[in-house]
């Protein structure tokens, strides 16, 4: 039985070209700045993002942490969305390790934060208050239906930040998905930010690796923060080699994942007992809800997994599916058949039970 794993795009395995590149990578000690494969990747990534410099990190979480700790001192404040990955899914690292206070403001369903909400969260000059130092945005926005944030919106937050003397960080774990969905060059999404991260180990299918991009000065500081966090690694060329293939060969195909996510969502919309907002489906992440009192959320997961299908549960009756490299059209069809059988089976069982 083929396992169809839609829990995340992080489950993607390296391509044959990545495995070959890892095997033959030129290596050196990256803490001395002497790993040629890593240096090449960092230059490529900085160039693609329109920034002066870049720094390889093991994970998106360490990338965000490195950036926030580089921008802020202890006791300062960072404004983040209440559905952001930094707030929800990074183990409170910026507070626990950086002593930085997180000021949450509501994320809208499209992943944006209203400008007036950001503005209202910025602290005035008062000895009682922490100093606001940084604003963070996320693109695509994972929890907000994988929504892509537009260049116009990003620019408006960048000018707000500038007006208040604040820095702007972008968690661009899936920045290339945003660019593909919007049909824009990725630099249109990065031009106003002071720092950003993106991940190689999600839709781009590399086994490990994320990267921080920013000004030369910022990256020089971030290098020290990364070392402090234990992220100074040695022969990182084995990681960078696969990431380079990801950047060169895996970006173009992301819109396929978006197409399959849409096909999946449209199928789910036809299944009684499941509900999905098709207007929100824009990239490779979809959320749907179970609206049936005949089947428990846990049972849906169990029954699907017996059919070889893995999905994530993100709320009492909410589920997430993420399409990615390795998911083919026939897998989408198989998932839809399995979902329909599961939902129909549950109503049938209940009808029978109800007659006794
Ligand atoms: N997201 C993972 C889980 O942690 C939820 C996933 O399966 O989607 N920023 C964003 C927007 C992310 O979605 C993630 C990972 C990260 C940062 C962290 O990346 P890693 O897992 O490399 O630390």
- For residues 159 and 170, the answer to whether their CB atoms sit within 8 Å is no
- For residues 210 and 86, the answer to whether their CB atoms sit within 8 Å is no
pLDDT reading at 211 higher than 80: yes
The whole-angstrom separation of Cα 303 and Cα 352 is 19
pLDDT reading at 344 higher than 50: yes
Predicted pLDDT at 135: 99
Predicted pLDDT at 355: 35
How far, in Å, from the CA of 279 to the mean position of ligand 1?
23
318 by DSSP, 3-state: which?
strand
If you average pLDDT over residues 292-310, what whole number do you get?
Answer: 95
Instruction: For residue range 167-209, list pLDDT tens digits in order.
Output: 999 999 999 999 999 999 999 999 999 999 999 999 999 999 9
* Residue with CA at minimum distance from ligand 1 atom 19: 60
pLDDT reading at 348 higher than 80: no
The whole-angstrom separation of Cα 243 and Cα 45 is 10
Percent of the chain beyond pLDDT 90? Answer: 96
- The least confident of 233-237, 241-245, 346-350 is 346-350
If you average pLDDT over residues 113-136, what whole number do you get?
Answer: 98
| Whole-structure pTM value | 0.96
- Proportion of the chain in helix, strand, coil states, percent, rounded to 5: 45, 15, 35
Atom of ligand 1 nearest to the CA of 89: 4
Instruction: For residue range 65-103, list pLDDT tens digits in order.
Output: 999 999 999 999 999 999 999 999 999 999 999 999 999
pLDDT reading at 354 higher than 50: no
Q: What are the two backbone dihedrals, phi and then psi, of residue 218, each rounded to the nearest 5 degrees? A: -65, -45
Angle at 184 between CA 246 and CA 216, to 5 degrees: 65
Predicted pLDDT at 352: 40
Mutate to test the pocket of ligand 1, among 5, 62, 89, 197 (most ligand atoms within 8 A of CB): 89
* Residue with CA at minimum distance from ligand 1 atom 13: 142
Predicted pLDDT at 107: 98
Instruction: For residue range 26-39, list pLDDT tens digits in order.
Output: 999 999 999 999 99
Residues contacting ligand 1 via CB (< 6 Å): 8, 10, 59-61, 85, 89, 138, 142, 171, 173, 199, 201, 210
Predicted pLDDT at 345: 83
Count of beta carbons in the 10 Å neighbourhood of residue 231: 19
- For residues 245 and 21, the answer to whether their CB atoms sit within 8 Å is yes
248 by DSSP, 3-state: which?
helix
Count of beta carbons in the 10 Å neighbourhood of residue 283: 27
Mutate to test the pocket of ligand 1, among 142, 147, 315 (most ligand atoms within 8 A of CB): 142
Atom of ligand 1 nearest to the CA of 174: 11
C-alpha dihedral over 142, 143, 147, 150, to 10 degrees? Answer: -80
If you average pLDDT over residues 279-285, what whole number do you get?
Answer: 98
Count of beta carbons in the 10 Å neighbourhood of residue 34: 14
Predicted pLDDT at 349: 55
If you average pLDDT over residues 320-325, what whole number do you get?
Answer: 98
- Helix 329-355 and helix 297-306: axis angle, to 10°? 120
DSSP state of 141: B
Predicted pLDDT at 1: 87
Beta bridge mates, 322: 285
The whole-angstrom separation of Cα 275 and Cα 336 is 13
Percent of the chain beyond pLDDT 70? Answer: 97
The whole-angstrom separation of Cα 133 and Cα 338 is 49
If you average pLDDT over residues 322-329, what whole number do you get?
Answer: 97
Predicted pLDDT at 356: 31
Residue 346: band (very low, low, confident or very high) from pLDDT cuts 50, 70, 90: confident
């Amino acid at each position: 039985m083929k396992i169809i794993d839609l829990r995340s795009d992080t489950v993607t395995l390296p391509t044959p070209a990545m495995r070959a590149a890892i095997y033959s990578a030129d290596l050196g000690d990256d803490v001395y700045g002497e790993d040629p494969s890593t240096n090449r990747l960092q230059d490529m990534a900085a160039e693609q993002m329109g920034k002066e410099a870049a720094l390889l990190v093991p994970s998106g979480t360490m990338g965000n942490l490195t950036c926030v700790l580089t921008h802020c001192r202890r006791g300062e404040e960072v404004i983040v969305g209440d559905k952001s990955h930094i707030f929800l899914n990074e183990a409170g690292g910026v507070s626990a390790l950086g002593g930085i206070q997180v000021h949450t403001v509501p994320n809208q369903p499209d992943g944006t934060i209203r400008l007036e909400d950001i503005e209202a969260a910025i602290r005035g000059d008062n000895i009682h208050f922490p100093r606001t130092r940084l604003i963070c945005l996320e693109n695509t926005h994972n929890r907000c239906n994988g929504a892509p944030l537009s260049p116009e919106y990003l620019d408006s937050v960048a000018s707000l930040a500038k007006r208040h003397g604040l820095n702007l960080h972008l968690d661009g774990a899936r920045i290339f998905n945003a660019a593909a969905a919007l049909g824009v060059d990725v630099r249109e999404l990065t031009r106003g930010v002071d720092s950003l991260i993106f991940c190689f180990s999600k839709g781009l299918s590399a086994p490990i690796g994320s990267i921080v991009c920013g000004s030369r000065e910022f990256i020089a500081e971030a290098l020290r923060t990364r070392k402090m966090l234990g992220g100074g690694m040695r022969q990182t060329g084995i990681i960078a080699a696969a990431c380079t293939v990801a950047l060169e060969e895996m970006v173009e195909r992301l819109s396929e994942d978006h197409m399959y996510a849409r096909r999946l969502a449209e199928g789910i919309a036809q299944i009684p007992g499941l509900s999905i907002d098709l207007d929100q489906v824009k990239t490779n992440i979809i959320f749907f809800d179970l609206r049936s009192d005949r089947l428990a959320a846990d049972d849906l997961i169990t029954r699907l997994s017996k059919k070889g299908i893995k999905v994530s549960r993100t709320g009492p009756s909410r589920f997430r599916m993420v399409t990615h490299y390795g998911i083919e059209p026939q897998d989408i069809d198989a998932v839809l058949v399995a979902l329909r059988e599961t939902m129909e089976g549950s109503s049938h069982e209940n009808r029978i039970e109800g007659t006794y």
